[in-house]
Amino acid sequence: MITEKIPWGDGTFDEITFTYTGTVGKSDLRAVSDPNGTLLKRQKTLALEPDDGVELDRLTVTQESRSRDYNADYNADYK
């Protein structure tokens, strides 16, 4: 299991905590955010890449203003 905290970057000290667990053929990525106490909707897009630095895809996390709720949109196009 790997856990990493990433700041929203919106002028607050709020963070998104990402937890990755996985084995060959199966993986899970969980995103949990601090509550958004601001008046603005916030969004963070991260590149998903292994250690070699080649971007595989992107993950976008969006959280409405004054909200504990958030959603994550992950789109994988396998070729």
Specify if 65 maps to a domain: yes
Minimum mean pLDDT range among 23-27, 35-39, 41-45: 23-27
Specify if 43 maps to a domain: yes
Specify if 79 maps to a domain: no
Minimum mean pLDDT range among 3-12, 55-64, 70-79: 70-79
Average pLDDT, integer, range 52-71? 80
Specify if 39 maps to a domain: yes
Q: Is the pTM of this model over 0.75?
A: no
Tokens describing residue 33: 């955010």
Buried b vs exposed e over 9-42: b needs ≥16 C-beta within 10 Å? eeeeebebebeeeeeeeeeeeebebbebebeeeb
Specify if 27 maps to a domain: yes
Specify if 41 maps to a domain: yes
What gap in Å lies between CA 11 and CA 47, rounded to an integer?
A: 21
Average pLDDT, integer, range 29-56? 87
Judge whether residue 77 has pLDDT over 60: no
Number of domains the chain contains: 1
